[in-house]
Amino acid sequence: MPTAFITGISGQDGSYLAELLLQKGYRVVGLVRNAAADHWRLSHIRNDIELVEGQMLDEDDMRKALKAAHPQEIYNLAARASSTQLFDNPVATGDVNGLAVLRLLEAIRTVDPDIRFCQASSSELFGKTRESPQSEITPFYPRNPYGVAKQYAHWITVNYRETHGLFACSSIVFNHESPRRGEEFVTRKISRAVAAIKAGILEKLPLGDLEARRDWGYAGDYVRAMWLMLQASQPDDFVIATGETHSVRDFCRIAFGHVGLDYQAYVVHHPESRRGGEATQLVGNAAKARNVLGWRPTVSFEELVCMMVEADVAALGAKTS
């Protein structure tokens, strides 16, 4: 039974990855700050996984955790990632999203250099790109502290692969959503608002730039790509994306329409809600992942939106019944 070690296991991606690995017969160990906390995304598999407490910013904690778990694979999904955290507290963002990755790589190098490592990179690396779609060879130009820290993590992963011979990969994932997405993200704000408006609890949904476009995929598909990366014969970096863009307006139209409502009657445009330093058009070219890993997304944009709305309608119904 192989062992996988997941940082950020209590987040959206971590929970989907833990499910996938359990299905494949792995022993799954997850790093959390507080094992007694309410990790709601893991409630249905809590008895099937092991949670260990530790701090990503403490290299000794990382070494102790790896020595105890003896993993063959490590997936670093821990990050300060919400839209509000893109600019708030840049020092903490740099520590968690950047330097913590170096500490983890050092722990791997000193404890067991045969461990295979996957770093969750981000489309925010591209930022103010002049090339579309973006691939593994597109120059980086991050436009916020989150993207800058992720760029450091990306290149230090490449450095440890080339300098120390680690099987270290970066998955350059574009936006990916699910019913487990945090409530601070615009996609989940929309799906929750649709459920509340349908139930008569909410009247309006204020949003910023309705024309902002993103390459949105399903989180369950994207963690499968990460797993495939660590099964490959050689370590490498891969863009994981759908290759399609859709606007926030498209998301609203499908989400409200799924419950028989016209989004134009409920969505209120608030230009001041638009975040600064907005990235330009981001759309990923995942040809390398298709050709090398055999990876393809299985959930369409419309299916994803409807999935999120249905989950929030069901959750709200359970709360109010």
Tokens of 48: 């099937």
Model pLDDT, residue 320: 64
Backbone phi and psi for residue 229, each to the nearest 5 degrees, phi listed first: -60, -40
Model pLDDT, residue 49: 98
- What global pTM score does this model have? 0.94
DSSP 249-296: HHHHHHHHHHTT--GGGTEEE-GGGSPSS------B--HHIIIII---
CATH number of the domain at 3-176+217-240, please?
3.40.50.720
Model pLDDT, residue 321: 53
Looking at residue 211, its amino acid is E
Assigned superfamily of 181-214+244-282+298-320: UDP-galactose 4-epimerase, domain 1 (3.90.25.10)
- Where are the domain boundaries for CATH 3.90.25.10 in the chain? 181-214+244-282+298-320
- Where are the domain boundaries for CATH 3.40.50.720 in the chain? 3-176+217-240
Q: Are 41 and 11 in contact (CB under 8 A)?
A: yes
Residues in the chain predicted with pLDDT less than 50, given as ranges, are 277, 279
Catalytic positions, written as ranges: 122, 124, 146
Backbone phi and psi for residue 176, each to the nearest 5 degrees, phi listed first: -140, 135
Tokens of 167: 């099987």
Rg (the chain; Cα; Å): 19
Start-end of H helices in the chain? 12-23, 59-69, 90-94, 100-111, 145-164, 186-198, 219-231, 248-258, 287-288, 301-320
Q: What is the pLDDT of residues 135-177, one digit of tens each?
A: 999 999 999 999 999 999 999 999 999 999 999 999 999 999 9
